[in-house]
Amino acid sequence: MLVGDIDVHPIADGTFRASPSYFGDHVTAHGHEDFFSRHGHAWLPIGCFLVRTGSHVVLVDTGMGPAMRDDGPRMLVGGQLMAGLRAIGVRPADVDAVVLTHLHTDHCGWLFDLAGQPVFPRADIWFGAADWPKFVLDPQSTMFDHTRHGLQSADGGRLHLVEADTTVVPGVDLTMTPGHTPGHLSVVVSSGVSRALLLGDAIICPVQLDEPDWQSIGDVDPDLARRVRERLFRELEGEHTWGAGAHFPELQFGRVLAGEARRWIG
């Protein structure tokens, strides 16, 4: 995806298998058999995005890491981010900044190794401040122990806990999109008139445009998440604005075609 003169490269760390109940107890596959296409499940990527501005390399989310979890409504299997980076000629030491849309395990899995050492040794780390107490300070959270230890032990000068819209590097800005988690944020890549929104889990899949009552079982505040999702869909009606979420099928960018019956176009 080219955004003006900025390159945005989607990379899948692995696979996210979602049953209809992941989107709510009321959700069934009926009417969306094309989405829940494999034994009644949706098979989606665990997505990361490598942004190259010409002067900076920014990685948005770090996937699940070499790990897996299966809690019934969803199964997550990671481990492929490093291969994806190598395939496009990027080494961990090349990354200047890591932006975490939120601190769920499938978005920060490659942040630290099992000893709590940073996988991206030169990178500053950016994430929503409100996620810190929920995930890093709470030993009962779902965060991997080595990730929690790595964040707690990290050089404080490298950690940027974001509380309001801000700029990471020229052309890469952060906007607060809470609801899925307290500190969830999205990334706005812009160059000239072109914009790309990297949505994290603020929108799980484009189907939610047609099914606004579909939630994520991970939403900490479903009502706020719904309002934020609608705000983002409205932004994606812009002629020069495209977007992709971490679990969009094939990590394909798209936008909303406005009108009496809005629809998603990829």
Q: Which structural domain range is residue 116 located in? A: 2-196
CB neighbours of 156 closer than 8 A, spacing ≥ 6?
none
Asked if residue 29 is part of any domain, the answer here is yes
pLDDT at 3 over 90: yes
CA distance 7 to 130: 30
- CATH number, domain containing residue 170: 3.60.15.10
Q: What percent of the chain stands above pLDDT 90? A: 95
Residue 115 maps to a domain:
yes
Q: Which residue bears the tokens 């897996």?
A: 68
Alpha-carbon distance 64 to 246, whole Å? Answer: 11
Q: What is the mean pLDDT of residues 117-137?
A: 97
Residue at 129 is within a domain: yes
Q: Tell whether 249 is covered by a domain.
A: no
In a domain, residue 74? The reply is yes
pLDDT score for 34: 94
Query: CA 195: distance to chain centroid?
Result: 17
For 175-224, the pLDDT digits (tens) are: 999 999 999 999 999 999 999 999 999 999 999 999 999 999 999 999 99
Domain presence at residue 181 = yes
- Out of 89-93, 151-155, 167-171, 174-178, which region has the weakest mean confidence (pLDDT)? 151-155
Q: Measuring CA to CA, which residue among 221, 213, 176, 218 is closest to residue 201?
A: 218
The answer to whether residue 253 is domain-embedded is no
**Nearest residue to 169 via CA among 109, 98, 238, 236:** 98
Domain count, the chain: 1
Q: Report if residue 245 sits inside a domain.
A: no
Letter for the amino acid at 191?
Answer: S
